[in-house]
Structure 1
Amino acid sequence: MQKICVIGGSRYFGKLLVQRLQAAGHQVTVINRGSTPSPPGVAHLVADRDDEAALIAALGSRTFDVVVDQVCYTPVQAAIAARAFSSRTRRYVMTSTIEVYDPVTASLPTVPPGTPVPEEAVDPSTWLVAMDLPWHDAAYLEAHYAEGKRQAEAVFAQHQGFAFAAVRSAHVLGGGAAEFTGRLAHYVGHVTQGTRITVHAETLPTVFIHYKELADLLLWAATLTDVTGSINACSDGPLDVYDLGAVIAAQAGRKAMYRSAAADEPASPFSFDRHYVMDNARAKELGFSFSHTRDWLPGAVAEAIDASAASTA
């Protein structure tokens, strides 16, 4: 049994992670702002992670074997957590994102299309951190989501108080109504209603992961391995927007229709005109086994179709 602290963990794959940690016999503590109660048997600390004094007060004298941070978006948040947990844990796991590799958002090494992007393309141990940017501004943070994640990783990677791993998640799908991003629902709505999906003139593939598989990987990263550094988390089998549409069309019994985005018009989510498909070889070499996207995607789409039908009933 290990003592595990989860920051966030109140919805989607974070909620599932808490359940699986508890089922595995670990002593689990959840920290959030109190809007969602924790399951029975899970300790619940109410604190705003942005308030360092309140966070430290809530922690008291508690220590943990591992902290899993589900909701760190800025270097400021990371710095607060690094100071608060420096003497309270031996290991820190942060949930990060595929977006750290988006070449539009930073000057990154060029990876030819068709070549999966390895973890070393973004090295948080050398990434520059700028605490004086307006990270507190919601609009700024939304526009700089990828850089916020890169710099948050960098703060932890350059901190000396604990071992650190960053799980860089692919686009997460599955769970029907629980999938709060609404991206799969966006496609389901277009296909079932017979409206056109806006795509780039030339589209490139991306990678996905089922929310249950991501919870499994986070459980593995937190309790079953001592791996440090960055870990790409994606199912095998990249898909482009047309592949996704075809799976939805097959499940819905409808035809997916498309139109090209006009100049400066945003395309639908998962339509990409730039390459940053992740390479998951490192996690495999370390012992984690991934599913294939096409094995679970039809089920995830069926859940999304059911959730859409239920919401309009």
Structure 2
Amino acid sequence: MKNILILGGTRFFGKRLVQLLLDEGHKVTIATRGNTEDGFGDQVGRIQLDRENKESLAKAVENGQEWDTVYDNICYSPQAAQDACDVFKGKVKRYILTSTLSVYEPASRAHEEKDVNPYIYPVTLGGKNDFSYGEGKRLAEAVLFQNADFPVAAARIPIVLGEDDYTGRLEFHIDHVKKEQPIGIPNLDAKMCFISSGEAAAFLSWLKNQRVEGPINARSEGDVKLSELIRWIEKETGKKALITKQPRKEDESPFGVPDSWVMDTSKAQRLGFQFQPLRSWLPALISQLSAVER
């Protein structure tokens, strides 16, 4: 049994991760602002904190508390990463940062981990409002890998989808097609990669047992052109999508990238993780969400 802390963990794939860890018999503590009901009752411990405040974060190691694994799902800035380096120094055996595909720019080829090397990436400190999302994550990785005295792995995951996705990014496309509203997509030939919320949680749980350090890409096997994704939605809704390259702001697709945006997962596969085929779950999810009236 491991003593595990999750920074975040009250919704979406973070909540699924908590359940997986509980099912494995681990002692789990959730650290959040305390604004979202998690539904785990007395199965988990809880710490209320502000991730952006170093003194608040220190509550996680009050009274000499030590952790086998810390999952950080809510680190968005280099300053937050540096706070973790300071607070958890000598207090954690393994630290797993939930990072993102957004550390890479869209490109015509699949990105390997070496394309953004956090061990040599120049560090600039600042809060999450000082940087774009992708740059904030690049810098957070760089701070942790360059400054932490504990082993760190960064799971670079793409857009996560599922029926429990509170962001509604896939539903945006389904609803726009249903209502015959325009969708702004600059490049229908661009390929995208995704991961399901269940698989994201399973990957993070698996990663705690690996010796690997550094960044590691994770996505479902395969990719999909945006044109094909739209065809799947058209099939389920019975409506024709209205695609435009000059949309209003509110009609811009959350998947509207200028070029393909995919990752190479050879590293994770060499370590033994088997990813689900994208086509084994995404068309079914589109069918499920299309049947829901919103």
Q: TM-score, normalized by length of structure 1?
A: 0.87
SS in 2 for 1:92: strand
Q: Conserved in 2, the CA contact under 8 Å of 1:95 and 1:166?
A: yes
In structure 1, what is the equivalent of residue 49 of structure 2?
47
Q: Conserved in 2, the CA contact under 8 Å of 1:75 and 1:151?
A: yes
Of residues 257, 281, 293, the one that matches 1:272 is 257
Return the letter of the residue paired with 2:59: A
Alignment of 1:137-148 (within 5 A): 137=129, 140-141=130-131, 144-148=132-136
Identity %: 35
Q: Conserved in 1, the CA contact under 8 Å of 2:187 and 2:256?
A: no
Alignment of 1:225-236 (within 5 A): 225-236=210-221
Q: Conserved in 1, the CA contact under 8 Å of 2:100 and 2:158?
A: yes
Distance in 1, matches of 2:194 and 2:91, equals: 34
Structure 1: give runs of 5+ residues left out of the alignment: 104-110
Cα deviation, 1:25-49, whole Å, max 9, x if unaligned, reads 1111111111124413101011112
Q: Conserved in 2, the CA contact under 8 Å of 1:240 and 1:271?
A: no
In structure 2, what is the equivalent of residue 107 of structure 1?
none
Q: TM-score, normalized by length of structure 2?
A: 0.92
Distance in 2, matches of 1:265 and 1:17, equals: 32
Q: How many residues align?
A: 291
In structure 2, what is the equivalent of residue 254 of structure 1?
239
Of residues 198, 204, 209, the one that matches 2:195 is 209
Residues 19 and 237 (structure 1), Cα distance of their counterparts in 2 relative to 1, 3 Å cut:
same
Q: Conserved in 2, the CA contact under 8 Å of 1:174 and 1:304?
A: no
In structure 2, what is the equivalent of residue 183 of structure 1?
169
Return the offset for 1:240: 2.2
Q: Conserved in 2, the CA contact under 8 Å of 1:165 and 1:229?
A: yes
In structure 1, what is the equivalent of residue 153 of structure 2?
165
Distance in 1, matches of 2:284 and 2:3, equals: 34
Structure 2: give runs of 5+ residues left out of the alignment: none
Question: RMSD in angstroms over aligned alpha carbons?
Answer: 2.1
Return the letter of the residue paired with 2:134: A
Return the offset for 1:136: 5.2
Q: Conserved in 1, the CA contact under 8 Å of 2:29 and 2:47?
A: yes
249-258 vs 283-292, greater mean Cα deviation: 249-258
In structure 2, what is the equivalent of residue 151 of structure 1?
139
Moved over 4 A (4+): 262-267
Distance in 2, matches of 1:262 and 1:251, equals: 24
Return the offset for 1:252: 2.1
Q: Conserved in 2, the CA contact under 8 Å of 1:7 and 1:67?
A: yes
In structure 2, what is the equivalent of residue 65 of structure 1?
68
